[in-house]
Amino acid sequence: MKSLMHTFLLSTLFGMCLNVNAITASPQNWWVGMQSQQLQIMLHKANIAKQQWQLEPHAGVELTSITHTDNPNYAFLNLTINPDAKPASLIFKSKSGERFEYPLLAREKNSSQRKGFNSSDTIYLINPDRFANGDNSNDTIQGMLEAANPQERGGRHGGDIQGIIDALPYLQKLGVTQLWLTPPLENDMPSYSYHGYAITDFYTIDPRMGSNELYRELSAKAKQHGIGMVMDLVLNHFGSEHEWMTDKPTADWINFNGDFANGKHATSHARQTIQDPHASEFDKRQFSDGWFVATMPDLNQRQPLLATYLIQNAIWWIEYADLSGIRVDTYSYSDKAFLANWTKAIMTEYPDFNIVGEEWTSNPAIASYWQAGKVNNDGYTSSLPSVMDFSLQEALIQALNEDESWNTGWVKVYQSIANDFLYPNPDNLLVFADNHDMSRVFTELEQDLDKTKMAMAMLLTTRGIAQMYYGTEVLLDNTDSNDHGDIRIDFPGGFKGQTSNAFTGQGLSDEQRDMQQAITTLLNFRKQSPAIAHGKLTHFSPKAGIYSYARISDQQTVLVFLNKNSAAKSWSLAYMQEVIGQHKQAINLFTNQAISLIDTVTLAPKSATVLIIE
C-alpha cells in the first residue's frame, strides 16, 4: 500500500508540473525520518515571489521561512521536519487562494543503513544509449531537440533503460555486482545529447531513456539479480538548454555571469591550483569557475541556494531509486568548500554509503587530497570515500606496452601502487583499465588479446574497487578512431541488424569468446573471494618481465603472477615464502588444476596465473 501511495503522490505531482501554469517544486517530494530535519523547496512560476505562502498545520512540520531572490519567478520554502512527523500530503496555500500539495513520504526500512559499493564489487560502466535498445518507441520523442540518428557516431543510437533491464540476466551471469550508467537524466540538447553530461533537468530521466519509474524499476530488478546501482551525478555544470539559462534563480547562479565569452571564460583544467600553495587566486578561479564548453555552463556552488539544491538532489535520487553509490563527474572542478559540505551531508545521512569522485590526474599526491581521512597541509577536510585511480590505469597500459628495464614496464605498476601511502584508504580506490572518456583497453594494448587478459586479471585481483567498461569482455575496439562516438561503440546484440551478439555468443570470434570466458571466471571468483574482497595486498618487485603479488585474508590467500614474456617460465617461489607459509598446494583459477607450491611453478607465456590457497 505504501508503494502504491508513493507512486500516486509522485504521479500527481509530476502531472501538475507538466502544466505550464502550475507551480514546479524541486525536489518533487521528500521523506520523513531523515537525519537532517531541514528541507528547502524551490518553487518556480511566473511572479511567484508575490505570493505569501502558509502551510496547513501538520504535526511535526513547520514552514520556518521563505527566501526570495532577485528573480520574482522563484521562491524557496524552508521547512523543518521533526523526527515525529508522519507521512502526508502537505498543503500549501497562498493568501491569493492558490494552493499546491507536496508529498511527504515514508522511507523504506533501513534506508539510512544502506551498504555502498566496496572492494568486493565489480562496477560495470554503461553508456545507456550505446548498450541495448529495449524500446524502439522512445528512440525519438516529439518536441525534444535531437532525434535518433544511429548512423551518426555522435548521434543518438536508441539504447535505453529497458535494454539494460533486459540484459540483467546476462550481467548477473557475467559476474557484475554494480551498474554505473553515464547520466540518464534529461539532456534536451540539439546535438551530442547521448553522452548525458549536459543535463537540462536534474530530477527527470530523459524520455528517450525511459522514465523515472522505469529507472526505479531497473534498480529494483537489478537488486533481485544481486546488482546495485551507482548514479553518475554532475555538480559542476549543466546543459545550456536548461531553463536556468533564460530564467536564473539568482543572478549569481552561473559562474562568470552566465557568459562563456567566446572561450575567455573556459576552464584552464589546471587542477593542481587547488593544492598549490603558491597558486594565484586568478588561476584558482579560472580552473574552478571556468566552463568546459559553451554548451556546458559552469554552476556557482558558492551560491547557498544552489548548494542546497544540489545536496538535496543527490539525496532525493538515493532515496527514490535505492542507490548503492554515486560517481561524481569532474569532481575537483566544483567549489571545494561546497564539495566538503556536499559529501558530508550525504555520508551523514548514509554512513555506509560510497561515493567516488573523478579526479583525472595520474599524480596520486593530487588525487589523495580529496579522499576522506587525508590530513592536508591547508587544513581541507573531505568526506569523499573514494577517488578514481588514474595513476594505476596509466601505469598499467604503459607497463604492458613497454619493454622491461629498470624504469620501464612492470616497475611503473609497482611504483604506482607503492604510492598508496598517500591515501588514507587505498582499498577504497576505484581501479580501471579504461572508461567512456578514453580509448578502450584492447585498443590501447594494440589489439593484443594476451595483454588485455593480463590487464584485466591484474585489475580484478589487486586492491581497490574494480570498474569495467561495457564490452571489454568481448574486446570492443576503437583502433581506427579516437572519436568519443567510436569509443562508446554499440554493444553487440543490443541493436537490430548486428551480426554478433555478446548476450548469446552468436557470431563472436574465438578471441571474443576467450576473453568473455576469462572475464566471467574472474568476476564470479571476485564475488565469493574473501582475499579479493578485503585481503591484504603484498606485492613483489618485478623481475624478468614478471610482476607477482598476493592477496591475503584469514580464510584464503591468492597468488597472482603476470608474465609478459613470450616464453613460458619455470618460476621459483623461494622469494614468496612469507605469503605462502606452510602451504604446499594451490588451485589454478583458470584450469582448476592442483598446483604444487614446493619449489617452482610454470607460468605460461604472456599470461596471468591466479593460484588459490584455501
pLDDT in tens, 567-605: 999 999 999 999 999 999 999 999 999 999 999 999 999
Q: How far is CA 390 from the centre of its chain?
A: 14
Same structural domain, 317 and 223: yes
pLDDT at 513 > cutoff 50: yes
> How many CB atoms are closer than 10 A to CB 69?
18
Does 201 qualify as catalytic in the annotation? no
Same structural domain, 582 and 492: no
Same structural domain, 341 and 376: yes
Same structural domain, 32 and 67: yes
d(CA 35, CA 53) in angstroms, rounded, equals: 26
d(CA 73, CA 246) in angstroms, rounded, equals: 12
Angle in degrees, CA 25, 31, 37, rounded to 5: 95
pLDDT given for residue 428 in this prediction: 98
Name which of 103, 124, 151 is nearest 2 in CA terms. 103
Q: At 241, is the pLDDT very low, low, confident or very high (cuts 50, 70, 90)?
A: very high
Q: At 495, is the pLDDT very low, low, confident or very high (cuts 50, 70, 90)?
A: very high
Q: Are strands 99-105 and 430-432 parallel, antiparallel or unpaired?
A: unpaired
Same structural domain, 91 and 127: no
**Residue tagged active-site, from 160, 329, 389, 473:** 329
Choice between 282 and 4, residue whose per-residue pLDDT is larger: 282
pLDDT at 10 > cutoff 60: no
Query: pLDDT tens for residues 369-383?
Result: 999 999 999 999 999
pLDDT at 16 > cutoff 80: no
d(CA 422, CA 438) in angstroms, rounded, equals: 26
Cell readout for 494 is: 543490443
Q: Residue 457: what residue type?
A: A
Helix (H) or strand (E) holding 223: helix 212-224
Q: At 21, is the pLDDT very low, low, confident or very high (cuts 50, 70, 90)?
A: low
CB 609 within 8 A of CB 560: yes
Task: Pick the last residue of a domain from 81, 107, 133.
Answer: 107
Q: How far is CA 389 from the centre of its chain?
A: 13
Same structural domain, 37 and 167: no
pLDDT given for residue 7 in this prediction: 42
Name which of 161, 129, 183 is nearest 329 in CA terms. 183
**Residue tagged active-site, from 121, 139, 146, 358:** 358
Same structural domain, 514 and 567: no
Return the DSSP state at 419: G
Query: pLDDT tens for residues 313-324?
Result: 999 999 999 999
pLDDT at 266 > cutoff 80: yes
Same structural domain, 212 and 300: yes
> For residue 436, is it within any domain?
yes
pLDDT given for residue 607 in this prediction: 98
Same structural domain, 388 and 464: yes
> For residue 415, is it within any domain?
yes
Q: Mean pLDDT lowest for which of 17-26, 144-153, 423-432, 505-514? A: 17-26
Same structural domain, 317 and 381: yes
Domain membership of residue 551 as a residue range? 535-613
Percent of the chain residues topping a pLDDT of 90: 96
d(CA 223, CA 404) in angstroms, rounded, equals: 44
pLDDT given for residue 492 in this prediction: 98
Does 358 qualify as catalytic in the annotation? yes
| Mean of pLDDT values over 440-461 | 98
| Mean of pLDDT values over 10-31 | 67
CB 105 within 8 A of CB 87: yes
> For residue 267, is it within any domain?
no
pLDDT at 223 > cutoff 80: yes
pLDDT at 2 > cutoff 50: no
pLDDT at 264 > cutoff 50: yes
pLDDT at 18 > cutoff 50: no
CB 42 within 8 A of CB 76: yes
pLDDT given for residue 574 in this prediction: 97
Write down the residue that cell numbers 530530477 correspond to. 203
Task: Pick the last residue of a domain from 107, 141, 168.
Answer: 107
| Mean of pLDDT values over 307-312 | 98
Q: At 4, is the pLDDT very low, low, confident or very high (cuts 50, 70, 90)?
A: very low
Same structural domain, 186 and 334: yes
Number of H helices, E strands in the chain: 16, 26
Q: At 388, is the pLDDT very low, low, confident or very high (cuts 50, 70, 90)?
A: very high
pLDDT at 157 > cutoff 80: yes
CATH (domain of 37)? 2.60.40.10
Cell readout for 244 is: 536556468
Query: pLDDT tens for residues 497-507?
Result: 999 999 999 99
Same structural domain, 569 and 524: no
What's the whole-number average pLDDT of the chain?
A: 95
Q: At 15, is the pLDDT very low, low, confident or very high (cuts 50, 70, 90)?
A: very low
Alpha-helical (H) ranges within 126-167 are: 161-166
According to DSSP, the residues that pair with 66 across neighbouring strands are 77
| Mean of pLDDT values over 285-304 | 97
User: Cα-flanking dihedrals φ and ψ of residue 443, to 5°?
Assistant: -70, -50
d(CA 223, CA 215) in angstroms, rounded, equals: 12
Q: Are strands 569-572 and 99-105 parallel, antiparallel or unpaired?
A: unpaired
Angle in degrees, CA 146, 149, 152, rounded to 5: 115
Q: How many domains does the chain have?
A: 3
> For residue 195, is it within any domain?
yes
pLDDT at 11 > cutoff 90: no
pLDDT given for residue 8 in this prediction: 39
> For residue 226, is it within any domain?
yes
